[in-house]
């Protein structure tokens, strides 16, 4: 376990990007600041069907997981019948909440620019649907930088914490697991990267507590800039 928040390394200052040719980035909570709004929407909508959760409990239970898992859990705990339309309404309400104040996580543009300067490829691998990922990236002006390199849980049989999505992203980008570095803000994402045998950095610059990410084998950072700072 690693507890060095602010150090993008588990090896005493070594370059976390050494040997890496592809950086695999989660979308929500790493690139775009949606993880502050989504849990509040889920909590409100779950309460409407009889399941009472706080936004913090929603974040702890669902952060980094798929929409299908969210729907299955709501159905299991609701006091009324919940259909597929619940998920459609959830997507609309999250989209509307994000559209009111779209923003990237701090340091995203500097990170992408630094990766480009180093000649490193990057892609998105997210538990969100393709439609949601595209909406989020477009809202903050990042879609064109990732177009053609966006991978969703929709693309694979199992979403995070299974390794399928990360393996698929690496394969599509022509890389082996050891050539990749995953950047994740959720425990499910960290577990998925480790299961895919990919090095992973935990990012706690949003609402995710650092200790949730302590299993990340390349350490935990509170600023995206830490990924590209010289050791």
- Annotated catalytic residues are 26, 28
Taking CA atoms, 150 is separated from 6, 49, 122, 175, 179, in Å, by: 27, 33, 10, 15, 18
Residues contacting 72, CB < 8 A, separation 6+: none
Please report which residue ranges of the chain form alpha helices under DSSP H.
Answer: 38-48, 55-62, 67-77, 84-99, 108-117, 130-139, 143-146, 164-172, 187-195
Q: How far apart are CA 131 and CA 15, in angstroms?
A: 35
Distance of CA 12 to the CA centre of its chain: 26
Percent helix, strand and coil across the chain, each rounded to 5?
Answer: 45, 10, 45
Question: In degrees rounded to 5, what are phi and psi of residue 57?
Answer: -65, -35
CB distance 152 to 27 below 8 Å = no
């Amino acid at each position: 376990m690693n507890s060095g928040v602010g150090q993008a390394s588990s090896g005493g200052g070594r370059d976390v990007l050494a040997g890496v040719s592809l950086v695999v980035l989660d979308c929500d909570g790493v690139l775009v600041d949606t993880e502050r709004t989504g849990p509040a929407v889920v909590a409100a909508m779950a309460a409407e069907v009889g399941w009472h959760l706080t936004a913090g409990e929603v974040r702890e239970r669902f952060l980094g997981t798929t929409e299908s898992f969210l729907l299955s859990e709501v159905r299991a705990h609701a006091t009324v019948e919940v259909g597929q339309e619940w998920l459609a309404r959830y997507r609309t309400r999250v989209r509307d909440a994000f559209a009111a104040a779209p923003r990237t996580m701090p340091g995203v543009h500097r990170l992408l620019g630094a990766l480009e300067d180093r000649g490193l490829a990057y892609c998105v691998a997210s538990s969100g649907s393709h439609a949601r990922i595209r909406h989020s990236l477009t809202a903050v002006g990042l879609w064109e930088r990732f177009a053609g390199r966006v991978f969703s849980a929709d693309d694979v049989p199992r979403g995070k914490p299974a390794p399928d999505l990360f393996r698929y992203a690496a394969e599509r980008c022509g890389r082996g697991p050891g050539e990749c570095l995953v950047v994740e803000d959720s425990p499910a994402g960290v577990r998925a990267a480790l299961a895919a045998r990919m090095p992973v950095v935990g990012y706690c610059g949003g609402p995710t507590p650092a200790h949730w990410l302590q299993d990340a084998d390349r350490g935990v950072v509170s600023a995206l800039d830490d990924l590209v700072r010289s050791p």
